Structure 1
Amino acid sequence: MTRTTELSSQPEDRFPALFAPQRWEWGGIDAQFELALPPDELITNIHLIGFTPDGRVVLCRDAKDHWFLPGGTREPAESVRDCLVRELREEAGARLLDEPVWLGAHRAVTDRPTPYRPWQPHPEKAWLWGWAEVLVDSAPTNPEDGEEVVEVRPVTVAQAAGLLAYESWRAELIALAAEQRGV
Structure 2
Amino acid sequence: MPTDSGLAAAYPLLFAPQRWEWGGLDAQFAIGAPADALVTNVHVVGFSGDQVILCRDDRDVWFLPGGTREPGESVEECVGRELLEEAGAVLTSPLTVVGAHHCVTDRPLPYRPHQPHPEKAWLWCVADAAIVQAPTMPEDAEQIVEVRAVPIPEAAVLLLTDQPWLPDLLMLAVETRRGDAAAR
The two structures have a TM-score, normalised by structure 2, of 0.91
Per the alignment, residue 80 of structure 2 pairs with: 85
CA distance in 2, matches of 1:132, 1:10: 23
Secondary structure at 2:137 match in 1: coil
The AA in structure 1 aligned to 2:43 is H
Q: Does 1:108 align with 2:103?
A: yes
CA distance in 2, matches of 1:180, 1:103: 7
Match of 1:59 among 48, 54, 57: 54
Cα shift readout 1:40-90 (whole Å, capped 9, x = no counterpart): 11000000000002x100000111111110000000111111011000000
Secondary structure at 1:10 match in 2: helix
Per the alignment, residue 139 of structure 2 pairs with: 144
CA distance in 2, matches of 1:131, 1:36: 12
Match of 1:20 among 16, 20, 27: 16
Correspondences of 1:40-59 after superposition (within 5 Å): 40-53=36-49, 55-59=50-54
The two structures have a TM-score, normalised by structure 1, of 0.92
- Aligned-pair distance for 1:178? 1.1
CA distance in 2, matches of 1:62, 1:152: 9
- Unmatched 5+ residue regions in structure 2? none
- Aligned-pair distance for 1:144? 1.4
Per the alignment, residue 68 of structure 1 pairs with: 63
Secondary structure at 2:99 match in 1: strand
Per the alignment, residue 175 of structure 1 pairs with: 171
CA distance in 1, matches of 2:52, 2:151: 6
The AA in structure 2 aligned to 1:177 is A
The AA in structure 1 aligned to 2:76 is R
CA distance in 2, matches of 1:29, 1:160: 26
CA distance in 2, matches of 1:161, 1:44: 25
Cα shift readout 1:143-169 (whole Å, capped 9, x = no counterpart): 112111110011111111111124221
| Number of corresponding residues | 175
The AA in structure 1 aligned to 2:173 is A
CA distance in 1, matches of 2:57, 2:148: 12
CA distance in 2, matches of 1:180, 1:131: 8
Contact 2:32 2:97 in 1 (8 A): no
